[in-house]
Amino acid sequence: MSASELTTASAARLSELLAAGEVSSVEVTQAHLDRIAAVDGDIHAFLHVNAAALDTARQVDAARAAGDALGALAGIPVAIKDVLCTLDMPSTAGSKILEGWIPPYDATVVARMRAAGLVPLGKTNMDEFAMGSSTEHSAYGNTHNPWDLTRIPGGSGGGSAAAVAAFEAPLALGSDTGGSIRQPAAVTGSVGMKPTYGGVSRYGAIALASSLDQVGPVTRTVLDAGLLHDVIGGHDPRDSTSIPDAWPSFADAARAGLRGEGLKGLRVGVVKELSQEGQGFQPGVLQRFRESLALLEAQGAEIVEVSAPSFDYAIAAYYLILPAEASSNLAKFDSVRFGLRVEVPGGTVEDVMAASREAGFGDEVKRRIILGTYALSAGYYDAYYGSAQKVRTLIQRDFDAAFEKVDVLATPSAPTTAFPLGSKVDDPLAMYLNDLTTIPANLAGVPGISIPAGLAPEDNLPVGIQFMAPVREDARLYTVGAALESLLESQWGGSLLSLAPAL
């Protein structure tokens, strides 16, 4: 098989080829390393490429040759967002304060992927500590959208989304605190899934906001996301917020969708507050969103308008809760146990700490730490943080009420297509509005998936549609997502990414 056939194949297809002995993991891995070498100078999805990737691939090939029982994704390369700790690669979370830091442990999701025989290809770029919607807040330079190199790849996980969209990796891991998996997926024409809070371990994910963060798959197809979710998900005693329940196979749920199951009689709720003109949505985004709904309806789904009035307060609550939790979580970067230390001659440990944090943190990180410190300070706690937590309750109630009437909720995944690099980086409030549609799911802990819905007619850039389901009903999203993906791809005559310009 040609190298380009290997890099454009889905993980599910590669799994079949590897199991049949038609290709080796070394060949698949080499094809992706070559692709990275060829295009990542333009894309800059990777902060680090794993020098040991081919060794790992060789081991998997040897295990297969020896007749070992291997998982479905054994031998398949995967890119890892730099927020996840890896024993053998630097883990910087996009920050200068962690430049070159090699953690003494693997994140649970990374350990599970290694145990399943996946081949880590490298670490992907991100907004510093996952604070951003464009990856422009990385301390290591911008990542470029494969559809248009002058545009943002979304954020914070722009590196992981761009890596799969540019065929540098078939699979990637992301983390989603307010949309950092789903919004990059939308603007790069890829698939991103934020699992139910607690469905995937956070152990070894460098924390941004602990009550919102969730790790999840970044892929080109819904089935691939389900396959990866099956590997990384499930209870982890090292994460006390990890849900102890058993989970169904998400790959099986996606396969059911690909067979056309799940749409007849499905009640799809369209959130009135997140789908109308005049709410900052680009016309082409709304057009593709409505066309997707019409496709579902034609297959027997029932489209129902639902109202979630508290969602209007979601961004405000989020930008109090997130900075509050972040200001606490980022206190650990104190120049003592790991990370940057700036020497201050004659200075105390506090002077060294303050100088190190000044030098090591970027503007957005400082902004959010100071905002969070303010929101938590005596006298303002009740008005800000306390009120935001109450809004969280109201948002959960809106979800509960909606899910009494419908099986899934649908919104556009992001209000616009990819915007030009540099256009919002100096306007924090404008940047925060990009997470309008994704934040409610994080506040309520419900799962959300973004899949490609087409290209906006006005700019020929990808649009995503988001589905959300009740807590613990992640499987429903894989079925609905795969079913719609299959319907759309038969209209397009292939995947949306097959329409992307050559790099």
Which residues from 332-391 bind other proteins, rule CB under 8 A? 334-341, 344, 346-355, 357-358, 361, 363, 366-367, 369-371, 373-374, 377, 383-384, 386-391
Q: Does 3 bind other proteins (CB under 8 A)?
A: no
Over its C-alpha atoms, the chain yields an Rg (Å, rounded) of 21
Nearer to other proteins, 238 or 267 (CB): 238
Out of 10, 15, 24, 81, pick the active-site residue.
Answer: 81
Q: Does 228 bind other proteins (CB under 8 A)?
A: no
Q: Does 208 bind other proteins (CB under 8 A)?
A: no
Q: How far is the CB of 354 from other proteins (least distance, A)?
A: 4
Count residues near other proteins (CB under 8 A): 74
* Part of the chain binding other proteins (CB under 8 A), chosen from 67-75, 109-117, 238-246, 408-416: 238-246
Q: Which of 21, 141, 237, 248 binds other proteins (CB under 8 A)?
A: 237
- Give the closest residue to 188 by CA, choosing from 212, 168, 205: 168
Q: Does 197 bind other proteins (CB under 8 A)?
A: yes
Nearer to other proteins, 263 or 446 (CB): 446
Q: Does 186 bind other proteins (CB under 8 A)?
A: no
Q: How far is the CB of 286 from other proteins (least distance, A)?
A: 24
Q: Does 9 bind other proteins (CB under 8 A)?
A: no
C-alpha to C-alpha distance for 124 and 48, rounded to whole angstroms: 7
- Determine whether 2 is an active site residue: no
Out of 91, 133, 134, 156, pick the active-site residue.
Answer: 156
* Part of the chain binding other proteins (CB under 8 A), chosen from 16-24, 267-275, 328-336, 412-420: 328-336
Strands across the sheet containing 408-412: 46-49, 119-124, 77-81, 171-175, 215-219, 191-194, 448-455, 462-468, 408-412, 267-271, 302-306
Q: Which of 12, 243, 296, 455 binds other proteins (CB under 8 A)?
A: 243
C-alpha to C-alpha distance for 283 and 451, rounded to whole angstroms: 18
Out of 10, 95, 180, 450, pick the active-site residue.
Answer: 180
DSSP string of 67-127? T----TTTT-EEEEETTB--TTS---TT-GGGTT---SS--HHHHHHHHTT-EEEEEE--S
Q: Does 447 bind other proteins (CB under 8 A)?
A: no
Nearer to other proteins, 345 or 493 (CB): 345
Q: Which residue has tokens 């310009």? A: 501
8 A C-beta contact, residue 414 and residue 146: no
Residue 312: count other Cβ atoms within 10 Å of its Cβ: 14
Q: Does 313 bind other proteins (CB under 8 A)?
A: yes
8 A C-beta contact, residue 314 and residue 278: no
Q: How far is the CB of 317 from other proteins (least distance, A)?
A: 5
8 A C-beta contact, residue 68 and residue 18: no
- In the three-class reduction of DSSP (H, G, I as helix; E, B as strand; rest coil), residue 349 is classed as helix
Q: Does 320 bind other proteins (CB under 8 A)?
A: yes
- Give the closest residue to 18 by CA, choosing from 58, 73, 56: 73
Q: Does 129 bind other proteins (CB under 8 A)?
A: no
Nearer to other proteins, 313 or 467 (CB): 313
- Determine whether 81 is an active site residue: yes
Q: How far is the CB of 105 from other proteins (least distance, A)?
A: 7
DSSP string of 290-342? HHHHHHHHHTT-EEEEE--GGGGGHHHHHHHHHHHHHHHHGGG-SSSSSS---
Which residues from 79-108 bind other proteins, rule CB under 8 A? 101-105
The two structure tokens encoding residue 21:
């002995």
Residue 348: count other Cβ atoms within 10 Å of its Cβ: 9
Sign of CA dihedral 346, 351, 355, 357: positive
C-alpha to C-alpha distance for 23 and 129, rounded to whole angstroms: 38
Q: Does 443 bind other proteins (CB under 8 A)?
A: yes
Q: How far is the CB of 232 from other proteins (least distance, A)?
A: 18
Q: Which of 140, 281, 319, 403 binds other proteins (CB under 8 A)?
A: 319
Q: How far is the CB of 214 from other proteins (least distance, A)?
A: 9
- Residues noted as catalytic: 81, 156, 180
